[in-house]
Amino acid sequence: MPTKLLIANRGEIAVRVARAARERGIEVVAVFTEADRHSLHLRYADEAVALGDDPRAYLDIERIIQAARRSGADAVHPGYGFLSENADFAEACQRARLGFVGPPPSAIRAMGSKERARAAMTAAGVPVVPGGPASTLEEARETARRVGYPILVKATDGGGGKGMRRVDREAELAQVLERTASEALSAFGSRAVYIEKAIDHPRHVEIQVLGDREGRLVHLFERDCSIQRRHQKIIEETPCPPLPPATLEEMCRVALRAAESIGYYSAGTCEFLLDSNGAFYFLEMNTRLQVEHPITELVTGVDLVHEMLRIADGEPISIDVPRRRGAAIEARINAEDPKRGFLPSPGNIEQWLAPSGPGVRVDSGVAAGSEVSPHYDPLLAKLVVWGETRAAAVARLRRALSEFAVVGIDTNLGFLLDLSQDPAFVRGDYATDFVNLHPELGATALPQAALHDLGRALGALSLLDEKSEPRAPNGTSPWVLADRARLRER
Phi, psi dihedral angles at 179 (to 5 degrees): -65, -40
Residues assigned a catalytic role: 288
Buried b (16+ CB within 10 A) or exposed e, 403-417: bbbbbbbbbbbbbbb
Measured CA angle at 335 (ends 345, 343), to 5 deg: 50
Q: Is 124 exposed, middle or buried (0-12, 13-18, 19+ CB in 10 A)?
A: middle
Query: What are 274's strand-pairing partners?
Result: 203, 280
Q: Is 181 exposed, middle or buried (0-12, 13-18, 19+ CB in 10 A)?
A: buried
Q: Is 388 exposed, middle or buried (0-12, 13-18, 19+ CB in 10 A)?
A: exposed
Q: How many residues are given for the chain?
A: 490
